[in-house]
């Protein structure tokens, strides 16, 4: 297939069509592949486990650990490589390749390894000229790259958001001032040389044997994006948003054209535009199977609650979720062993709360811990984490085929928040999140607070985390003890 330029008449016409779609609030034909992500995807990501320090040995070891721990059989099927899996240069035909030092057997071999274990392989890219770590992006290579990854047998593609050709260093600096991503050539080089991420720019290998530094301008073969005065985030940003949308739409269509079922996850966050405004995100629902709706999660309680608060502020997002599309709350931090000293690990109760809310809110369940060498039967850390990740009743809530995202239904003065999610058999999943710094005793979760009408009769209540049926009254269910930052989850059957 011939790679088309963005100046090709067909692509110019596509841009016009997208502009008209935005103008009349219509987004055209759904670009998603039918039958994918009918429930929120479950799996593992390399990012927080290894950063950029990834290689084929680690990935195969992780796949074996996922199988042997029972995670695969519980539904965690995706093994997703984040940034830095690829070679810093395309080959002489302009194709993407895996890094020859860290993935010497090639990406098709790796996909075959995953498939032979009953797992699926995911890879990562960006719509811009580079990825967030400076590797080749998909700009002007959309169809070529889609065919390449389909030929390898890839099952998942994460399309992040860095180095869009029409964006500027200043706009990235504004959007990413929290330090999660690099925003200038100098800081990117520093980021890549940070050994906490295991990647040395001198040779881009874990050994760092090549002492010759890479010419940064040649990492992708394209220079840094230059400012375009007509596309800076000032005043009306609609034209800018159209170009962003077009970049994601083009790659979504490229993937679809390959004929291979590839789950597409996108992260269309942009600077200068309030990333919480649903009107910005709404068009992207038609392009992907799940969409990041905020910036990266970190292993901190306040990071989790910030993501939840942002989600609660825009209930319109919940109504968009359905089989084939999910709102992505970023990675589960359960079991994460921090790469940075300033990110303290959360407590077991906080991890349980994160998992509970991800399930209630129908978010993808992608964890990012290194579980190699752990035995759930003998390792205390592993046992605690497995009690969360392998709770089949909690997973059943997450994977409920009705595909309705849960909502915050009541915030109590005590610091308790009540969330509910409708399930396919008519039952209701109810989560009581304790956001207070103190333990709560003798909490009555009233049926009237969670939308259960007086005309309805509660037949049965089951504590999902404790795996037992519990008594209830006409008024509600009493939680005798709930630790600070913990969450109780119940399944309620009605008649």
Which own/partner pairs from 148-152 qualify as long-range (CB within 8 Å, at least 24 positions apart)? 148/95, 148/96, 149/96, 149/107, 149/123, 149/262, 150/255, 150/258, 150/259, 150/260, 150/262, 151/108, 152/106, 152/107, 152/108, 152/111, 152/121
Helix, strand and coil in the chain, % to nearest 5:
35, 20, 50
- What angle (nearest 5°) sits at the alpha carbon of residue 31, between those of residues 26 and 37? 120
Maximum Cα–Cα distance across the chain = 75
Residue 218's CB: how many other CB atoms inside 10 A? 11
Q: How far apart are CA 162 and CA 181, in angstroms?
A: 9
CB 215 within 8 A of CB 224: no
Q: Which pLDDT value is given to residue 315?
A: 80
Q: Is 460 helix (H, G, I), strand (E, B) or coil?
A: strand
Q: Which two tokens stand for residue 211?
A: 């002492």
Q: Which two tokens stand for residue 409?
A: 């239904």
Q: Which pLDDT value is given to residue 335?
A: 78
Distance of CA 443 to the CA centre of its chain: 34
Q: How far apart are CA 462 and CA 483, in angstroms?
A: 19
Burial class (CB in 10 A: 0-12, 13-18, 19+), 437: exposed
Q: Which spans in 118-159 are helix H?
A: 142-152
Distance of CA 38 to the CA centre of its chain: 16
Q: Which pLDDT value is given to residue 179?
A: 40
pTM value is 0.80
Q: What are the 10-residue block averages of pLDDT along the chain, 495 residues in total? A: 40 38 36 76 94 95 94 97 95 96 97 98 93 91 97 96 55 38 38 33 26 28 30 38 76 93 84 50 74 76 87 82 90 72 72 97 94 65 84 98 96 95 97 96 95 94 97 94 97 95
Beta-carbon contacts of 264 under 8 Å, excluding residues fewer than 6 positions away, are: 32, 156, 157, 159, 251, 252, 255, 287, 288, 289
* Residue the block writes with tokens 């960006």: 126
Q: Which pLDDT value is given to residue 15?
A: 37
Distance of CA 264 to the CA centre of its chain: 11
Number of Cα atoms under 13 Å in the Cβ half of residue 474: 2
Q: How far apart are CA 206 and CA 55, in angstroms?
A: 9
Q: Which pLDDT value is given to residue 277?
A: 56
Length of the chain: 495
Sign of the Cα pseudo-torsion (380, 384, 386, 391, in order)? positive
């Amino acid at each position: 297939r011939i790679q088309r330029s963005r100046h090709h008449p067909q692509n110019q016409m596509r841009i016009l069509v997208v502009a008209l779609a935005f103008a009349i609030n219509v987004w055209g034909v759904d670009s998603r592949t039918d039958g994918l992500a009918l429930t929120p995807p479950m799996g593992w990501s390399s990012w927080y486990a290894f950063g950029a320090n990834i290689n084929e040995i680690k990935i195969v070891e992780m796949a074996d650990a996922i199988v042997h721990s029972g995670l695969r059989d519980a539904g965690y099927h995706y093994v997703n490589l984040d940034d830095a899996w690829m070679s810093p240069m395309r080959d002489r035909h302009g194709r993407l390749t895996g890094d020859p030092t860290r993935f010497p057997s090639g990406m098709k071999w790796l996909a075959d390894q995953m498939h032979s274990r009953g797992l699926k392989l995911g890879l990562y890219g960006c719509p811009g000229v580079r990825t967030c770590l400076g590797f080749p992006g998909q700009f002007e290579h959309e169809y070529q790259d889609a065919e390449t990854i389909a030929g390898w047998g890839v099952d998942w593609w994460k399309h992040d958001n860095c180095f869009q050709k029409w964006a500027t260093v200043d706009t990235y600096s504004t959007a990413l001032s929290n330090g999660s991503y690099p925003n200038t050539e100098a800081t990117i080089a520093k980021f890549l040389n940070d050994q906490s991420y295991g990647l040395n720019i001198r040779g881009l290998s874990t050994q760092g044997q090549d002492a010759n530094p890479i010419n940064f301008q040649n990492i992708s073969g394209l220079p840094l994006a230059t400012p375009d005065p007509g596309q800076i985030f000032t005043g009306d940003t609609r034209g800018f948003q159209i170009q962003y949308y077009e970049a994601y739409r083009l790659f979504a269509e490229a993937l679809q054209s390959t004929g291979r079922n590839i789950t597409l996850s996108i992260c269309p966050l942009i600077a200068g535009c309030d990333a919480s405004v649903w009107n910005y995100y709404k068009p992207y629902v038609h392009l992907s199977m799940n969409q990041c709706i905020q910036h990266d999660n970190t292993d901190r309680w306040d990071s989790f609650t910030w993501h939840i608060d942002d989600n609660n502020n825009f209930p319109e997002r919940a109504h968009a979720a359905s089989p084939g599309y999910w709102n992505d709350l970023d990675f589960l931090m359960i079991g994460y062993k921090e790469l940075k000293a300033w990110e303290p690990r959360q407590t077991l109760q906080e991890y349980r709360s994160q998992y509970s809310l991800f399930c209630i809110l129908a978010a993808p369940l992608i964890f990012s811990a290194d579980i190699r060498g752990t035995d759930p039967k003998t390792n205390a850390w592993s046992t605690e984490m497995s009690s969360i990740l392998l709770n089949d009743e909690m997973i059943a809530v997450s994977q409920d085929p009705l595909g309705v995202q849960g909502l915050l239904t009541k915030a109590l003065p005590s610091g308790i928040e009540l969330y509910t999610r409708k399930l396919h058999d008519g039952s209701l999943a109810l989560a009581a999140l304790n956001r207070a710094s103190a333990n709560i005793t003798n909490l009555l979760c009233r049926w009237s607070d969670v939308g259960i009408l007086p005309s309805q009769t509660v037949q049965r209540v089951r504590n999902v985390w404790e795996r037992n049926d519990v008594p209830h009254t006409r008024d509600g269910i009493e939680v005798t003890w709930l630790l600070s930052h913990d969450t109780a989850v119940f399944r309620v059957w009605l008649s």
